[in-house]
Chain A
Amino acid sequence: MDAYTILQQAISGVATGGIYASVALAVVMIYRAIDHFNFAQGEMAMFSTYIAWSLMHAGLPYWWAFILTLAISFLGGVLIERVIFRPIHDAPVLSHVVVFIGLLAIFNSAAGFIWDYTIKPFPSPFASGGLFGSTLISLHKAGMIAVTLVVLGLVYAFFRFTEVGLAMRAAAQNPESARLVGVRVEWMTALGWGMAAAIGAVAGMMIAHDVYLEPNMMIGVLLYGFAGAIVGGVDSPGGAVFGGFLVGIIENLVGLVPFVGSELKLTVALVLIVGVLMVRPSGIFGTRVVRRV
């Protein structure tokens, strides 16, 4: 095994990591918005991608379908929050987890039912071929990384510099205090869900070109995205993206280790991730909340 192979795998890992990073970003967005993890994130993204596919099959050009899908996903996210989660917002956390599991099952099953289980190709908005003609990384993957970084930038700016972003963070962290400064907490939560659904849709549409569109396409990816978000630090969008890339690299490099091969790739990668957590229990860039007792 030479340095070139390692480098190649590492870069390939960055490329795959782009996928995980966009999923991780969506995961962290909603965590920021509602202080909860959305386990159904992946399935919602998959469903959005199918909607985009249908729109394109109905004749809509790529970017129109893209934008329309974002809008539909946003509305869908808001609707889910209002209809499904608002009524149980007092329930214990674990009950919420079960509702997420239920949502996951519904989306997965519905997608298979409506669009069947055959694998469908999904177009890329970027030209085909390698980046600068090289074989190291395809134009699509490079484009995907670029899109992820752009979305990250927008999200970061949103939370840091806009008032709505600040209000959303406050509403998620401490709803009662947020009300006391006049923040309409319900609206913020719904908005957060909408945004997270839209970001998930972006991730899904980017990923589908590489892994092909089918109802289970997000399941493997979500795990790594989830792991990336946690490793990077669940309350840091930048950390999540970094974590996503890191996980991609780890996954690819781990596959090179002779004993491990592809059988145990997932396991070893996860073990390494857990190892990172042992050293930094709140993730690499996560903020440790100082609790004064």
Chain B
Amino acid sequence: MTVGAGPQAVIPPKPVRPPSGLAVAGISLRAWRRFWLVLGIVVALTLPLFAGSFTTFQLTQAAIYAIAILGLNLLTGFNGQFSLGHSAFYAIGAYTAAIMMDQWEIAYYWTLPAAGLICLVVGFLFGLPALRLEGLYLALATFALAVATPQILKFSPLEEWTGGVQGIFILKPDAPPGLPLDQDQWLYYFTLAVTAVLFVCARSLVRSRTGRAIMAIRDNPIAARSMGINTALYKSLTFGVSALYTGVAGALGAIVVQFVAPDSFTFLLAVTFLVGLVIGGVGSIPGSLAGGLFVLFLPNLAEQISKGLAWGVYGVILILLIYVMPSGAAGLVRLVTMRLAKPSG
């Protein structure tokens, strides 16, 4: 039984996949996909063995951003609701983890489900009034959320909890005893595991009946409603799940960076997520991984090219990327694949 859709609801059928008879260079697309996946897993698993400590740390952050971006993707890419406020959910997750670890001395792994749950509820509650707003207006409302967050975090009466402007420091967790990994490596694998689980869940969600209902709302809300889909419920739920993802990312972020402070969670972070979403590919789950890598490494690259004009170079790179891949990295891959693919056999 699918929540939010009565028994009479007509949910769109499974989309037509490209004919499985397509192949590139004689190898079927399905085999190619499997190849890339296996290669990716192998590379991801063995990277810390070659990369230095700092690079491992950076890759961990990239994975965390990827999760946050995936959260935004679920809401904006798959459900069509524009959000400029996901930095708020990230902050909620981060502070949840920090407060739990610092004040209540709870182990780091419990902070993830806690952050997720809290953000699920907050996201859902925010999603309810947001139902009335669309497009630009929703953008402003979520933007208000993003701007409000650092201010609320700095708010004096709450200082006892939030640590005010100074923020909260956390201790980096150790690898479980018996594993020959240092702290950075352990956090890398831990994050990788969480990333894998969350991405697989997202994929199942998107392919399920619920997922198709969510996408139907994006594509044609009036038609969706007239097919019996409870758009209000779905939209709010999607907001909640989206916030959950970004909140878990926030918690991971806090653990990995060992520090939370209000000014780390300004609307600039929300903009960063949006940029990652678009560059990776809106509506593409693997795209979110690419997006995470982009937003982490692009600013560094820009700074290397020109210290004084770092932001300017970043802007130029962004614009060039959109020229080359207007539909993001995922869009480019799709285009190239379609060009190269020929019917097999």
Contact = CB atoms under 8 A, between A and B. Distances in A.
Interface of A: 37, 84, 87-88, 90-92, 94-95, 97-99, 101-106, 108-110, 113, 223, 226-227, 230, 234, 263-264, 266-267, 270-271, 273-274, 277-278, 281-283, 293
| Candidate in A94, A101, A234 with the most chain B CB atoms within 10 angstroms | A94
A94 B277 contact: yes
22 contacts: A92-B282, A95-B328, A97-B274, A98-B278, A99-B318, A99-B322, A102-B314, A102-B317, A102-B318, A105-B315, A106-B311, A108-B311, A109-B310, A113-B309, A230-B137, A234-B136, A267-B144, A270-B148, A271-B144, A277-B137, A277-B140, A281-B133
Contact of B327 (A95, A277, A293): A95
Contact of A264 (B136, B143, B152, B326): B152
Q: Give the size category of B's interface with A.
A: 35 or more
Contacts of A234: 136
A101 B319 CA distance: 9
A274 B126 CA distance: 12
Main SS of chain B's interface residues?
helix
A273 B326 contact: no
| Candidate in B143, B152, B154, B326 with the most chain A CB atoms within 10 angstroms | B326
Contact of B152 (A104, A230, A267, A278): A267
B134 A281 contact: yes
A254 to B, nearest CB: 13
A109 B313 CA distance: 8
B7 interface: no
Contact of B318 (A91, A105, A281): A105
Interface of B: 76, 129, 132-134, 136-137, 140-141, 143-144, 147-148, 151-152, 154-156, 222, 271, 274-275, 277-279, 282, 308-319, 322-323, 326-328
A113 B274 contact: no
B278 A94 contact: yes
Nearest to A40: B315
B327 A91 contact: yes
Contacts of A277: 132-133, 137, 140-141
A113 B312 contact: yes
